[in-house]
């Protein structure tokens, strides 16, 4: 008994010397998240890590799932990145949530912000290489929009017999903001006003146009724009479960020129 009391006294002394949270981590690694919170280390909390572990187990048990997420989220990769967060607060769960609930997804991941590509690189890099067939260390080709060689491209359908319409679709983000899964309603409002101000500043007649706010838009106008392939329609379960359309149709803007 005296020995146990002595050891208890020594333990108390050790706790006092090195700091309670750090000492608990030394003796009980399972409370790692409590310690990280105490030390204000920017890593995922215990609740989020539990969700990540549960999601991983679900993927492993889903025999019908053939996504790139399942293929590349190995136990080794999981243990390497499950505690990490980006500066804007994105966790691995934010990245994989959609693919875990949509087991029929081809890819299964979404980047909540730009830093996610670096923080969760052990998962993103192999998936990007597999899907795009572009190795991680390959050099990006120089930008060439072909403006100086436009005359080299003859009309594809000069008599108008075959091509009804064409569309070029691209996506862009605004510097200083996360991507859709991490955007707040206030973020959208600020970004919306920035876009409106930019549209109003155009002097070129070909660029000038009109813009619509989706909130309050008449259903007939909205349906017409969808049918003409100008407006995205809601209802994509993959985006919804990635938290990419939480504020639809509020603070969404459509511009036409």
Beta carbons within 8 Å of 198's beta carbon, 6+ residues apart? none
pLDDT tens per residue across span 196-240: 888 889 888 888 877 777 777 888 888 888 887 777 666 688 888
In whole angstroms, give the CA distance from residue 225 to residue 223: 5
> For the packed helices 92-101 and 121-132, what is the interaxial angle rounded to 10 degrees?
50
Average pLDDT over residues 31-36: 45
Q: Is residue 208 classed as helix, strand or coil in its secondary structure?
A: coil
- Global pTM reads 0.71
97 is in an annotated binding site: no
Residue 108 has pLDDT above 70, yes or no: yes
169 is in an annotated binding site: yes
Q: 18-32, 106-120, 207-221: which range is least confident on average? A: 18-32
Beta carbons within 8 Å of 28's beta carbon, 6+ residues apart? none
**Domains contained in the chain, CATH given:** 45-132 (1.10.135.10), 183-256 (3.30.590.10)
Highest mean pLDDT among 72-76, 145-149, 155-159: 72-76
165 is in an annotated binding site: yes
In whole angstroms, give the CA distance from residue 76 to residue 92: 14
Please report the pLDDT score of residue 43 as a whole number.
65
Give backbone dihedrals phi and psi of 124, rounded to 5 degrees, phi first. -65, -45
166 is in an annotated binding site: yes
CA 250 to chain CA centroid, nearest Å: 20
Give 253's strand partners.
213
Give the residue with greater pLDDT, 188 vs 50: 50
Please report the pLDDT score of residue 42 as a whole number.
54
Half-sphere exposure of 155 (CA within 13 A, CB side): 7
Average pLDDT over residues 147-159: 83
- The 8 Å CB, 24+ separation contacts for 111-114 are 111/179, 112/86, 112/88, 112/178, 112/179, 112/181, 112/182, 112/243, 113/86, 113/88, 113/178, 113/179, 113/182, 114/173, 114/178, 114/179
Selection from 35, 131, 145 nearest residue 83 by Cα = 35
Beta carbons within 8 Å of 210's beta carbon, 6+ residues apart? 255, 256, 257
Beta carbons within 8 Å of 18's beta carbon, 6+ residues apart? 26
Please report the pLDDT score of residue 7 as a whole number.
42
CA 162 to chain CA centroid, nearest Å: 38
């Amino acid at each position: 008994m005296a020995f146990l009391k002595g050891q208890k006294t020594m333990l108390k002394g050790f706790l006092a010397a090195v700091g309670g949270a750090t000492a608990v981590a030394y003796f009980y690694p399972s409370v790692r998240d409590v310690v990280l919170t105490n030390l204000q280390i920017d890593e995922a909390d215990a609740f989020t890590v539990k969700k990540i572990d549960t999601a991983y187990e679900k993927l492993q048990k889903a025999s019908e799932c053939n996504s790139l997420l399942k293929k590349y989220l190995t136990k080794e990769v999981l243990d390497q990145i499950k505690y990490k967060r980006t500066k804007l607060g994105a966790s691995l769960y934010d990245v994989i949530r959609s693919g875990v609930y949509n087991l029929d997804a081809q890819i299964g991941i979404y980047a909540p912000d730009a830093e996610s590509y670096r923080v969760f690189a052990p998962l993103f890099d192999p998936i990007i290489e597999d899907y795009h067939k572009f190795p991680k260390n390959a050099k990006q080709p120089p930008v060439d929009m072909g403006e100086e060689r436009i005359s080299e491209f003859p009309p594809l359908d000069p008599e108008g017999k075959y091509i009804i319409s064409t569309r070029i679709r691209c996506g862009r983000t605004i510097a200083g903001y996360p991507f859709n899964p991490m955007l707040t309603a206030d973020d959208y409002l600020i970004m919306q006003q920035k876009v409106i101000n930019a549209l109003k500043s155009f002097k070129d007649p070909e660029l000038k146009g009109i813009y619509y706010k989706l909130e309050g838009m008449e259903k007939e106008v909205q349906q017409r724009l969808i049918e003409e392939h100008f407006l995205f329609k809601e209802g994509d379960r993959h985006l919804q479960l990635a938290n990419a359309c939480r504020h639809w149709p509020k603070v969404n803007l459509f511009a036409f020129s």
